[in-house]
Structure 1
């Protein structure tokens, strides 16, 4: 397959907001792709090479660009192979070899192909091939059931691997994907509820648990081997040795647990979220490393040979209590007074409660209505699009943030407001130091960023507005915290923002 076929399809995706049109364009391309190039084509169109990030920045690529090739000659297989060589090159002389490989690749690319490759390698490729659209396209191209493709993606964690399996082995290959201890699955997600009463009424006799202000973890144990993953499936085992030791002590041999972890004060109250997240970094200072993390597990996906993904929550919860005991998150099944549990959670310094359907399976990677989160304040996770230089006491600091909601069809984030409220002196200094690393462009007043950072925003609500392209604007927005545990693809959608319109 020629690279220009992928580039042309990418342009077609960027030119439409129609989900059906995107799916049709993708399925045509994937249907024509040879089996050995399908995974690379899928990876390229979802904006992430099969090798992941290869450590090449915008500035390096800009310096290497030369006059484009007069005609297209690159194939998808050649590009994928070259990127693999670049990613695997290390040791003495590696810098010059990587530079030469990149130079030769860009020299063979046309203008449109150069632009595509630069955006692909810098994480700037956002033309609308989001996971949901790509799953539908893979299903259409391979004539496989979409639900089966979706499940295989959630269990494999890889769209490209799933596409290759569907093309080479069809339904049988997709059905062979299973939960594997040691390979993380995408976490099940919750949707916001309008109120506690609404959530309880919607789910009947639900399970109500504390909603903690911690970091999501997924823990896999196979004998003495323990692996701990974040919500983005990044392994952090070396940074959280106390969690691994605790899981080794549980009364089982093989287990997969889902939960939260957080650092506590001496009186048992949660420390700020940033202190918990600080433990996950490789450059944590000695004071941060000394903070012990406490796990609170709320789901069990596997125990001693029994996969529980499809079992109802009530069964998974019973297995969880047998395995995790005192480390299960506080909660009750069909409490007589859910409001009392909410008050207790808030009094202990937590965010609110989760209200869960006891009959629901574990829908890996999905945000449905089986889990509902209840918090006393309205918050949204939004992408940071830009920051304006401050005035007065904030002169010299990047301050006022431009905020965007995720386009559910994969386009650029949609701006919904600005705010400088809630920014501490520490955050102002951090923004000013780090935002230039994400700079797309700038003018005299504003630094425009690649939309990779997620920030949690508290607000009083939203209102209709012609000022922003989404038709809505945030009311009295203020910064709560940055969310380094979330990727931009996990930000709230414009649909979620519009759903907050009063009336």
Structure 2
């Protein structure tokens, strides 16, 4: 398969907003790919090489750019092999060798292929929203049920491997994917509910738990070996030794736990979210001592050789209580006074509560209606699309943020508003320094960036608007915080924004 075929498919994807059309484009490409090309083709089209980030920035690539080839001749395998060599090169002389390989690759690429490789290698192509469309395409191309493909992906965490299994082995190969100790799975997610009463009425038999302002963690233990992962499946074990030690001391041989972790102030209230997140990248002894993390587990996905993903939550909770009872998140099953529990959570400095169906299995990676979050303040996780230069005391700082909601059909984020409210001097300085690192272009007033950073926005509501493509606009939006624990694919969708319309 030529790289040209992948680039043409990428162009076709960008030219339509129809999920059905996108699925057809991807399915056609998967059908025409040879087994040895499938993993790389899927990886390229979902915006990330099979090797992950290879450390080549925009400036490096621009310096290597040369006269493009007149006709397409590069194959998908050629590109994957070259990027593998770049990723594997280290030591003395490695910079020169990496430049030689990348320069040679770009010299063999047409103009359109060079543009594609630039965006692929700098992260501009990456968009988590396209993953759902790719899952549909794998199902269509392989003839396997979509739910089977989706489950295999969520258990493997790797779309290229899922596609290869589906296209070469069908349902039987996909069913071989299991929860594996030491390999994280995508976390189950909660959907918003308008009120606590609405959530309880919808779910019936339910547990009500605190919704904490912490960082999501998934912990795997096999004997004395412990791994701790973030919600984006990044391993942070080396930075959170106290969590690893705690899990290593639990009364079991093997376990997989889902939960939150946060740093507490002396009065027991949660420290700011940014302080908790700062621990995930630090091993400095003084910071570790000052910001000890406490875990609050709310699910048990495996215990001593038994996988519990398909067990109802009431059974998983029983297992969790046996193995980590003193570290369970505060909550009650079928509480007599759920309103009092919500009030207690808010009084303790947390965000609200999550209401969970006691009869539901663990739907890895899904934001369904089995878990409903209830927060008294309206918030959305949105993607930063651009920032405008400030005026007055904000002169010289990137200030007014352009905000986008995720397109559930895999297109680019859809703009829904702007805001500079809530930005502290610290945040202004931070974004002025870091947003240009994601710059795609600029004009006199605005710096446009790759849609990678997620920001949590507080708002009073939304209203219909012809100003933005999505037909809605935010009302009185304020920046609460950046969300480094989330990727663009975790942002709220345009459908979620529209659902906030009065009567929606």
TM-score by length of 2: 0.98
- Residues matched between the structures, number: 503
Show CA shifts across 1:87-121 (max 9, x none): 11100000000000000000001111111111111
In the TM superposition, 1:157-306 aligns within 5 A as: 157-282=157-282, 286-287=286-287, 290-306=290-306
SS at the partner of 2:103?
helix
Aligned-residue Cα RMSD (Å) equals: 1.2
CA–CA distance in 1 between the matches of 2:360 and 2:414? 33
CA–CA distance in 2 between the matches of 1:128 and 1:233? 13
Change in Cα spacing, 1:250 to 1:129, as seen in structure 2 (3 Å) is closer
Contact conserved, 1:13 with 1:128, CA < 8 A, in 2?
A: no
**In the alignment, what sits opposite 2:425?**
425
User: Which one is further off, 136-145 or 192-201?
Assistant: 136-145
SS at the partner of 2:435?
helix
Kindly state the Cα deviation for residue 167 of structure 1 after the two structures are TM-superposed. Answer: 2.0
Kindly state the Cα deviation for residue 500 of structure 1 after the two structures are TM-superposed. Answer: 0.3
SS at the partner of 1:6?
helix
Contact conserved, 2:48 with 2:126, CA < 8 A, in 1?
A: no
Contact conserved, 1:14 with 1:127, CA < 8 A, in 2?
A: no
CA–CA distance in 1 between the matches of 2:397 and 2:415? 22
CA–CA distance in 2 between the matches of 1:224 and 1:251? 12
Kindly state the Cα deviation for residue 125 of structure 1 after the two structures are TM-superposed. Answer: 1.6
SS at the partner of 1:317?
helix
In the TM superposition, 1:106-185 aligns within 5 A as: 106-125=106-125, 130-185=130-185
CA–CA distance in 1 between the matches of 2:126 and 2:406? 11
**In the alignment, what sits opposite 1:386?**
386
User: Which one is further off, 294-303 or 161-170?
Assistant: 161-170
Show CA shifts across 1:238-287 (max 9, x none): 10000000001101000000000000011111000000000001476833
User: Which one is further off, 254-263 or 407-416?
Assistant: 407-416
TM-score by length of 1: 0.98
SS at the partner of 2:280?
coil
Kindly state the Cα deviation for residue 166 of structure 1 after the two structures are TM-superposed. Answer: 1.5
Change in Cα spacing, 1:120 to 1:284, as seen in structure 2 (3 Å) is farther
CA–CA distance in 2 between the matches of 1:479 and 1:127? 23
User: Which one is further off, 138-147 or 154-163?
Assistant: 138-147
Unaligned residue ranges in structure 2 (runs of 5+): none
Show CA shifts across 1:176-222 (max 9, x none): 10000110000000000011110011111310000000000000000
User: Which one is further off, 484-493 or 142-151?
Assistant: 142-151
**In the alignment, what sits opposite 2:320?**
320
Kindly state the Cα deviation for residue 288 of structure 1 after the two structures are TM-superposed. Answer: 5.6
SS at the partner of 1:279?
helix
User: Which one is further off, 293-302 or 137-146?
Assistant: 137-146
Change in Cα spacing, 1:427 to 1:129, as seen in structure 2 (3 Å) is closer
**In the alignment, what sits opposite 1:468?**
468
Kindly state the Cα deviation for residue 425 of structure 1 after the two structures are TM-superposed. Answer: 0.9
CA–CA distance in 1 between the matches of 2:242 and 2:5? 50
**In the alignment, what sits opposite 1:38?**
38
Contact conserved, 1:208 with 1:355, CA < 8 A, in 2?
A: yes
Change in Cα spacing, 1:126 to 1:244, as seen in structure 2 (3 Å) is closer
CA–CA distance in 2 between the matches of 1:469 and 1:139? 30
Is 2:350 the partner of 1:355?
Answer: no
Kindly state the Cα deviation for residue 434 of structure 1 after the two structures are TM-superposed. Answer: 1.2
CA–CA distance in 2 between the matches of 1:114 and 1:394? 38
CA–CA distance in 2 between the matches of 1:397 and 1:255? 48
Contact conserved, 1:230 with 1:236, CA < 8 A, in 2?
A: yes
SS at the partner of 2:259?
strand
Kindly state the Cα deviation for residue 84 of structure 1 after the two structures are TM-superposed. Answer: 0.5
CA–CA distance in 2 between the matches of 1:22 and 1:199? 34
CA–CA distance in 2 between the matches of 1:121 and 1:438? 13
Kindly state the Cα deviation for residue 379 of structure 1 after the two structures are TM-superposed. Answer: 0.0
**In the alignment, what sits opposite 2:411?**
411
CA–CA distance in 1 between the matches of 2:406 and 2:136? 19
Is 2:366 the partner of 1:396?
Answer: no
User: Which one is further off, 436-445 or 174-183?
Assistant: 436-445
Contact conserved, 1:22 with 1:128, CA < 8 A, in 2?
A: no
**In the alignment, what sits opposite 2:62?**
62
Contact conserved, 1:463 with 1:475, CA < 8 A, in 2?
A: yes
Show CA shifts across 1:406-456 (max 9, x none): 111111111111111111111111111111111111122111111111000
User: Which one is further off, 440-449 or 202-211?
Assistant: 440-449
Is 2:87 the partner of 1:87?
Answer: yes
Contact conserved, 2:132 with 2:410, CA < 8 A, in 1?
A: no
Contact conserved, 1:128 with 1:409, CA < 8 A, in 2?
A: no
Is 2:428 the partner of 1:456?
Answer: no
Change in Cα spacing, 1:219 to 1:195, as seen in structure 2 (3 Å) is same
**In the alignment, what sits opposite 1:6?**
6
